[in-house]
Structure 1
Amino acid sequence: MAKKKSGGSGLMSSAGLMRYYEADKRAIHVDPKTVIVSGIVIGLSILVLSSYFGMWPLP
C-alpha cells in the first residue's frame, strides 16, 4: 500500500488558484446588480435620446 507524503503545500494544480485569488483582492469589485441596472439605464437613455432627435423608430 502506498504511503501518503506528509509535509507539502498541497496539490500543484491548486497553486494557480491561490495566486489568482490573492491577486483578486486588489481588484475593483462591482456588484452584479449595479452592472445590470446601469446597462438598463444606459439603454433606456439611448432610446429616449434617439426618439427625441427623431432617429427612432427607424423608417
Structure 2
Amino acid sequence: MANDDSGGLMSSAGLVRYFDAEDSNAIQIDPRTIVALGVATGLIVIVARVLMVL
C-alpha cells in the first residue's frame, strides 16, 4: 500500500496563521455585547409571540 500523506497539517497552516492574526483595523466587539444582543433578541421574539396570542 502506498503511504497516503494528504498533508492536512501543512495545508491548514495558512488558515491558522490567517485566523490568529490580529488586525488593528477590524471591528472590535466585546463578547458580552454579542451575548446581550442575543438575549435581548430572544426576549423581543418571546414578547412578540405572547402579544400575538392575546
TM tier relative to shorter chain: 0.5 to 0.7
TM-score, scaled to structure 2: 0.58
Deviations 1:21-58 (A, max 9, x none): 3xx1101000000000110000010000011011xxxx
Larger fraction in helix: 2
The count of aligned residue pairs is 38
More RCO (CA 8 Å, sep 6+)? 1
Structure of higher CA gyration radius = 1
Unaligned stretches of 5+ residues in structure 1: 1-12, 55-59
CA distance in 2, matches of 1:30, 1:43: 20
State the percentage of identical aligned residues.
28
Provide runs of 4+ in structure 1 moved above 3 Å. Answer: none
